[in-house]
Amino acid sequence: MAVVKIPDAGGDSMTLVEVDGHFFPKPPIQENPIDVIKGIRDLPIREDDVFVCAYPKCGTHWVWEMARLLLSEDTATVINKEKFMIEFVGNDVLEKLPSPRILNTHCLVEQLPRGVFEKKCKIIYILRNPKDMAVSFFHHHKKLSKIYEYDGKWENHLSLLMDGKVDYGSFCTYLKDWAAIGETHPDVPTLTLVYEDLKEDPLAGIRKLAKFLNAEKSEEFYLKVKELTSFNTMKEKKGSFFQADDGSPVMYRKGEVGDWKNYFTVAQNEAFDKLYKENMGDCDINFRYTLK
């Protein structure tokens, strides 16, 4: 296994897996993670496959559950989305899943299975303001101690993130890669959902998602989906799938907009804005860092 230890400025290291120059988390599976990751491009794809894609900590669990409920109409079953994550699960297992499969990933566009573009699968892409993402990613790395073995401080973790030395690499590279999908793959149907918009008006996002998936339902069902995908409900029903050493749920910490203000110093905020401007100046994404 190509396991690497990435040190931060404080001397704490993060454990990752490196494959072809890209960093991935050490997956909680029995299979060889390198074989799984290297097999992603060759995953046999079906025409009705749906992909939920986002940089880590941007709402993948949330939107995946919305899509699952809309397509299956099964409001009773509780499912761990990691069982449908293409960089965690081998192709032989994914091939046994019933259709329609709602697969999810944090990979770049170029790393997706080839069949996604050949069969023009629907892709749901999620954006979240990168400052809240940074805070959430910090806690994610700290709490999943058995995977990342990381116990660093906020300021040193932020530097790692800004340098792209975390799983899935630079968030700037990721954002630019996905922002260009309309040009690189214009015939692939893609819906972009914004985390902050979903927080402000989840019903509007659910309706938009249902229309994109050709799974329009009654307003009563949309209200049920809103209830089942609320932060508190998902934390209660799914929080036990990934727990920190203290028993707290890793994937459901706060889910708020604007929590970054409790972490970023003035200097850190200025450095982050400078990095973003230098790397993303030609990429027109207007993030909201607070809600009214």
The residue ranges of every structural domain in the chain are 3-280
The pLDDT confidence band at residue 28, using thresholds 50, 70 and 90, is low
Range with the poorest average pLDDT among 48-62, 160-174, 248-262: 248-262
Q: What is the pLDDT of residue 57?
A: 95
Q: At residue 245, does pLDDT exceed 70?
A: no
Kindly state the average pLDDT of the residues 117-124. Answer: 97
Per residue in 133-149, pLDDT (tens digit) is 999 999 999 988 888 99
Per residue in 188-236, pLDDT (tens digit) is 999 999 999 999 999 999 999 999 999 999 999 999 999 998 878 877 7
Kindly state the average pLDDT of the residues 260-276. Answer: 97
Mean pLDDT of the chain: 91
Between these two residues, 238 and 132, which has the higher pLDDT value?
Answer: 132
Q: What is the pLDDT of residue 135?
A: 96
pTM for this entry: 0.92
Per residue in 72-103, pLDDT (tens digit) is 988 877 778 888 999 999 999 999 999 999 99
Q: What is the pLDDT of residue 27?
A: 73
Residue 6 to residue 22: CA distance in whole angstroms? 13
Percent of the chain scoring above 90 in pLDDT:
77
Whole-number CA gyration radius for the chain:
18
Between these two residues, 274 and 236, which has the higher pLDDT value?
Answer: 274
Which two structure tokens, joined as six digits, stand for 220?
């009563």
Q: Is 139 a catalytic residue?
A: no
Architecture of the structural domain at 3-280:
3-Layer(aba) Sandwich (3.40)
Q: At residue 177, does pLDDT exceed 80?
A: yes
The pLDDT confidence band at residue 240, using thresholds 50, 70 and 90, is very low
Catalytic residue among 106, 139, 141, 157: 106
